[in-house]
Amino acid sequence: MRTTVITAAAAAVALGLTACGSGPDSGKGGGKDGTLVVGATAVPAGEVLTYIKDHLAARAGLKLEIKEFTDYVLPNTALQEGSLDANLYQNQPYLDDFNKSRGTDLVSVVKPYLPPMGVYSHKVKAVGRLADGATVAVPNDTTNEGRALELLAAGGLIRLRAGAGTDASPADVTANPRHLKFRELEAAQLPRSLDDVDAAVINNNFAQDAGLNPTKDAILAESAKNNPYANLLAVKRGNEKDPRVQKLARLLVSPEVRTFIEDKYKGSVLPVTRS
């Protein structure tokens, strides 16, 4: 996931996107009872954390509170401001871009799983059937847009300028044989755009929220091999060694959580293999 770079007006709109009572003002990070307050998007991060809270946390001596968000900006701003102790929802390119653009100081602790990004369509059943001039919706934030364009390039639909990397934008498209048109939308809105565009490149959590499974429904999906977009547990710099954070980090890569991810998501979310 990537740092959502949006205008001030769009940021204000995003303030209304948090799930019921889950905004940064609805709780204080690190309560007096030692509870670890973790922000997350609902799927898969919220579900993984709920499994840990219900089945593993007490045995590990960890009190866990989960606050769910429906956008990509507020979990990081709340973490920087201190109303969260940690968050789980983003990848390293997104975090790096967010720190750079927002002046935050957040760091990764552990990377437990990969939610593959996919291309979805209500109009065609295969990516090769996209018509000349088709409109493809992509996330409008810097790193997710680059990730989406990299996926389209991997599928042979476009070619990107050498070295464009995770910051790629439509301006970096050097070959577009199908004359695809790109519609840039806020990532959370992409599933709702499917009736209005020919295809949309959707982040895994928003796809699953909308009942879309990248294994079954995507017409093109990322490979896990050498993929830099594994989701990470993030904290404010200096809190990496917090004993509560370390307990959660160990649980996130435990055999129990790996089995939960494999059984529940059946390939639509992939545990990160550790050497």
Containing 183, the helix (H) or strand (E) segment is: strand 181-185
Kindly tell me if the per-residue pLDDT of 268 is higher than 60.
yes
For residue 3, is it within any domain?
Answer: no
Asked if residue 28 lies in contact with residue 57, where contact means CB atoms within 8 angstroms, the answer is: no
User: Which CA distances in Å does 144 have to 41, 200, 206?
Assistant: 16, 12, 13
Structure tokens at 57: 């946390």
pLDDT-based confidence at residue 29 (cuts at 50, 70, 90):
low
What sign results for the dihedral spanned by CA atoms 7, 166, 150, 158?
positive
Asked if residue 123 lies in contact with residue 198, where contact means CB atoms within 8 angstroms, the answer is: yes
pLDDT-based confidence at residue 82 (cuts at 50, 70, 90):
very high
Q: Tell me, what CATH number does 155's domain have? A: 3.40.190.10
Kindly tell me if the per-residue pLDDT of 13 is higher than 60.
no
User: Quick one: 255 exposed, middle or buried, by C-beta within 10 A (0-12, 13-18, 19+)?
Assistant: exposed
Q: Which domain holds residue 193?
A: 118-221
The pLDDT score that the predictor gives to residue 1 is 40
pLDDT (tens digit per residue) in 117-139: 999 999 999 999 999 999 999 99
Domain end call among 180, 204, 221 = 221
The pLDDT score that the predictor gives to residue 5 is 33
For residue 2, is it within any domain?
Answer: no
Taking the complete model, does pTM exceed 0.95, yes or no?
no
The pLDDT score that the predictor gives to residue 226 is 78
What total of structural domains would you count in the chain?
A: 2
Q: Give the burial string for 9-43 (b: 16+ CB within 10 Å, else e).
A: eeeeebeebbeeebbbeebebbeeeebbbbbbbbb
Mean pLDDT of 54-69: 98
For residue 26, is it within any domain?
Answer: yes
pLDDT-based confidence at residue 6 (cuts at 50, 70, 90):
very low
CA distance 60 to 36: 13
Mean pLDDT of 238-254: 98
Which of 35, 41, 70 has the alpha carbon at shortest distance from 53? 35
* Residues 147 and 213 occupy one common structural domain: yes
The pLDDT score that the predictor gives to residue 11 is 35
* Residues 195 and 262 occupy one common structural domain: no
Helix, strand, coil % over all residues of the chain, rounded to 5: 35, 20, 40
Kindly tell me if the per-residue pLDDT of 253 is higher than 80.
yes
Mean pLDDT of 203-212: 91
pLDDT-based confidence at residue 142 (cuts at 50, 70, 90):
confident
